[in-house]
């Protein structure tokens, strides 16, 4: 078995995306998958499957950091997983049944990916306002409704992430801010990252079985992204948060619109 080929162009892309993820906390799927599809003309199914395993490694690294700091609410993570794991499994079964490599399957992935990017852009722009709203209205919903809504959120994220690799970052955090207004933002972010690990690992493994993983591409991306995340994280306190969020939101809006209208 030959060793995977390392492509420095992909590694450079991984470095860039990893740097932005470390700098802004935006999920890598929102950035990496569109780059692979639009810039490098990677098949949408291969881009999604490869990015899912890429995300599982980077999210696992983030979970170790958040877990060591005690900023993961494992109950919230478990509730999300109770919805996302079955939904991801069902989505993989449907992808296997109806095919991902057909023109119709590729078009579906591309359109849903574009829509997810547009939703992510909205979540990025309005997250501070939602966080402020949640802080001012700390009367949480009843335990039963919070539990049900968290599981439903997990199910939506499970299907969305499995189909597009996008959604476990900005969208998940934004919804959790509203569901758990008394929970500190750092614990919401940590819980969302921890939940993304089993979700992206399961979805990535499913895509592997479906044959939509490019191992050389995956290794090339990781070689660049891991140091990029470290560098971005170290510089994150000096970054103009509002400017970066708005620039990223504008970029995702343009890319998402292009994918939807393609």
247 assigned to some structural domain: yes
Ramachandran angles phi, psi of 199, nearest 5°: -65, -50
67 assigned to some structural domain: yes
The rounded distance, in Å, linking the Cα atoms of 86 and 258 is 31
pLDDT in tens, 204-238: 999 999 888 889 999 999 898 888 877 877 776 67
Residue numbers of the domain that contains 87: 8-261
Q: What sections of the chain are H helices per DSSP?
A: 8-24, 28-34, 44-69, 74-98, 103-136, 143-164, 170-179, 185-209, 215-235, 241-261
42 assigned to some structural domain: yes
2 assigned to some structural domain: no
Instruction: Report the share of the chain in percent with pLDDT over 70.
Output: 89
* Residue 86 pLDDT greater than 70, yes or no: yes
Residue 99, by phi and psi: left (phi above 0), alpha (psi -120 to 50) or beta?
A: left
Per-residue confidence (pLDDT) for residue 97, from 0 to 100: 84
How many beta carbons lie within 10 A of that of residue 135, not counting itself? 12
* Residue 22 pLDDT greater than 80, yes or no: no
For residues 174-202, average pLDDT: 86
3 assigned to some structural domain: no
N- to C-terminal Cα separation, the chain? 38
The rounded distance, in Å, linking the Cα atoms of 180 and 194 is 16
pLDDT in tens, 135-148: 666 555 567 788 99
86 assigned to some structural domain: yes
Asked if 221 and 13 count as a contact pair (C-beta separation under 8 A), the reply is yes
**What is 82-135 written as a DSSP string?**
HHHHHHHHHHHHHHHHH-SSSHHHHHHHHHHHHHHHHHHHHHHHHHHHHHHHHH
> Of 16-25, 47-56, 91-100, 135-144, which range is least confident?
135-144
Per-residue confidence (pLDDT) for residue 93, from 0 to 100: 92
The rounded distance, in Å, linking the Cα atoms of 26 and 219 is 21
Per-residue confidence (pLDDT) for residue 99, from 0 to 100: 72
* Distances in whole angstroms, Cα of residue 9 to Cα of each of 209, 224, 231, 248: 27, 9, 19, 22
The rounded distance, in Å, linking the Cα atoms of 65 and 59 is 10
Rg (CA), the chain: 17
Per-residue confidence (pLDDT) for residue 1, from 0 to 100: 44
Tokens linked to 222: 């990781």
- Model confidence band, residue 199 (pLDDT cutoffs 50, 70, 90): very high
Q: For the chain, how many structural domains are there in total?
A: 1
pLDDT in tens, 36-83: 888 888 888 888 899 898 888 877 877 787 777 788 899 999 999 999
1 assigned to some structural domain: no
- Model confidence band, residue 166 (pLDDT cutoffs 50, 70, 90): confident
174 assigned to some structural domain: yes
Higher pLDDT, 76 or 261: 76
């Amino acid at each position: 078995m030959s060793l995977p080929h390392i492509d420095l162009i992909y590694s450079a892309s991984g470095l860039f995306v990893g740097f932005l993820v470390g700098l802004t906390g935006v999920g890598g799927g929102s950035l990496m998958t569109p780059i692979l599809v639009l810039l490098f003309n990677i098949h949408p199914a291969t881009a999604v499957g490869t990015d899912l395993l890429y995300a599982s490694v980077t999210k696992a690294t983030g979970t170790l950091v958040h877990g060591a700091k005690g900023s993961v609410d494992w109950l919230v993570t478990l509730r999300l997983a109770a919805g996302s794991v079955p939904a991801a499994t069902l989505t993989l079964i449907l992808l296997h049944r109806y095919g991902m490599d057909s023109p119709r399957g590729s078009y579906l992935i591309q359109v849903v990916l574009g829509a997810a990017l547009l939703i992510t852009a909205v979540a990025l722009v309005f997250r501070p306002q939602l966080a402020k709203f949640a802080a001012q209205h700390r009367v949480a919903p009843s335990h039963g409704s919070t539990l049900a809504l968290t599981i439903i959120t997990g199910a939506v994220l499970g299907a969305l992430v499995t189909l597009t690799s996008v959604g476990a970052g900005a969208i998940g955090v934004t919804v959790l801010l509203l569901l758990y207004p008394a929970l500190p933002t750092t614990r919401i972010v940590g819980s969302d990252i921890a939940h993304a690990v089993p979700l992206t690992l399961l979805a990535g493994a499913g895509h592997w079985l479906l044959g939509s993983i490019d191992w050389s591409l995956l290794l090339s991306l990781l070689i660049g992204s891991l140091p990029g995340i470290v560098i971005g994280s170290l510089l994150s306190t000096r970054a103009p948060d509002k400017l970066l969020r708005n620039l990223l939101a504008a970029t995702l809006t343009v890319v998402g619109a292009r994918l939807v209208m393609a």
